[in-house]
Amino acid sequence: VRCQQYPPLRALQASAALRGASDEHKKEPWASSSQQHFESPPAGHQPEEKPQGPHPSYTGQGGQESEDYESEEQLQHRILTAALEFVPEHGWTAEAIAEGAKTLGLSVAAAGLFHSDGSELILHFVSECNTKLSELLKKEQKLVQLGEAEKKPVDEFLRDAVEARLRMLIPYIEKWPQALSILLLPRNIPSSLTLLTNMIDDIWHYAGDQSTDFNWYTRRAVLTAIYNTTELVMMQDSSPGFEDTWRFLENRVADAMTMSNTATQVQSTGEAVVQGLMGAAVTVSNAGTSRAVR
């Protein structure tokens, strides 16, 4: 699985500290040991578990991970997922992350694990949406393979896929312009670009694209443009149910289909013209030589 990783920005020491403030008043076994205080222990136990004694695998030195412990990444994942609920109110900010951490029973200091501009939260959200889209498309593909659904024509497929993906923004639409600008920060561009290109490639793959020539790039570039412009239109759209956006999307996809048909036609016309010219040239040269022979 080609995954997009984005590096956690703070050491895991912070997560140790934040767990100390949880409601169960767990006595952290390592708090007393100054050596372990500065090591990066493996991510702690689930906060919902009952307080347990000192865990045998706390060896301190970048510890062993067993199945009882979630990794740092899983912890971050859970915090960010919980934080999404608070985005409509607080925006893509450390406040939302702090609120999310609170619902998991962690300290608000958990927000310190992340950048203050909410980059990771946004990237996490985009990644989750893309995964949801892939699963949706895979399910649809299975239905078609089992004969339980009709195979959609390409333009309809693309339209539906882009619409499905954009609809995932609706709960967060008011704060999305802010998110877009953060995704364009130079620091975030590699990650956001990779997420975008992977998503577009996924859509084309499930649409049945099998090009192995330059069309591979053309098609993806066209779909990326359609997606990005439709997303921007959606930000400005105040029509009921975003119907203006979906109409815009339909028109752009139709344009793309027309362009590709026109391109094919231009090519065949061009080839026909060239053949005609070659024929004329041969005729003229034959007429010339036959006159010379006479």
Partner 1 sequence: VPGAGAALRPCSSRVAQDGINQPVIDRIIRVDHAGEYGANRIYAGQMAVLGRSSVGPVIQQMWNQEKNHLKKFNELMVAYRVRPTVLLPFWNVAGFVLGAGSALLGKKGAMACTVAVEESISEHYNNQIRTLIEEDPEKYKELLQVIKQFRDEEQEHHDIGLEHDAEATPAYSVLKTAIQLGCKAAIFLSERI
Closest distance between partner 1 and the C-beta of residue 108, in Å? 23
123 binds partner 1 per the rule CB under 8 A: yes
> Residues 125, 129, 135, 140: what is their CA dihedral angle, to the nearest 10 degrees?
170
3 binds partner 1 per the rule CB under 8 A: yes
Closest distance between partner 1 and the C-beta of residue 65, in Å? 5
Closest distance between partner 1 and the C-beta of residue 28, in Å? 19
Contact predicate 202/214, CB 8 Å: no
- Give the count of beta carbons closer than 10 Å to the beta carbon of residue 118: 27
- Give the count of beta carbons closer than 10 Å to the beta carbon of residue 19: 21
39 binds partner 1 per the rule CB under 8 A: no
Contact predicate 161/137, CB 8 Å: yes
How far apart CA 35 and CA 138 sit, in angstroms, is 49
134 binds partner 1 per the rule CB under 8 A: yes
The residue count for binding partner 1 (CB under 8 A) is 38
84 binds partner 1 per the rule CB under 8 A: no
How far apart CA 26 and CA 47 sit, in angstroms, is 9
How far apart CA 118 and CA 112 sit, in angstroms, is 11
Which of residues 24, 135, 243, 271 is near partner 1 by CB under 8 A? 135
Closest distance between partner 1 and the C-beta of residue 128, in Å? 7
71 binds partner 1 per the rule CB under 8 A: yes
124 binds partner 1 per the rule CB under 8 A: yes
CA nearest to 55, candidates 34, 35, 36, 74:
36
Q: Which two tokens stand for residue 271?
A: 């080839």
How far apart CA 175 and CA 160 sit, in angstroms, is 24
57 binds partner 1 per the rule CB under 8 A: no
72 binds partner 1 per the rule CB under 8 A: yes
CA distances (Å), origin 214, targets 10, 217, 218, 220, 257: 42, 6, 7, 10, 17
Residue type, 173: I
Binding mask 197-236 for partner 1 (x = CB under 8 A): -xx-xx--x----xxxxx-xx-------------------
68 binds partner 1 per the rule CB under 8 A: no
Q: 12 vs 94, which CB is nearer to partner 1? A: 12
- Quote the DSSP letter at residue 8: -
Closest distance between partner 1 and the C-beta of residue 3, in Å? 3
Closest distance between partner 1 and the C-beta of residue 133, in Å? 9
User: Which residues are near partner 1 by CB under 8 A?
Assistant: 1-5, 7-8, 42-43, 65, 71-74, 77, 123-124, 127-128, 130-131, 134-135, 138, 194-195, 198-199, 201-202, 205, 210-214, 216-217
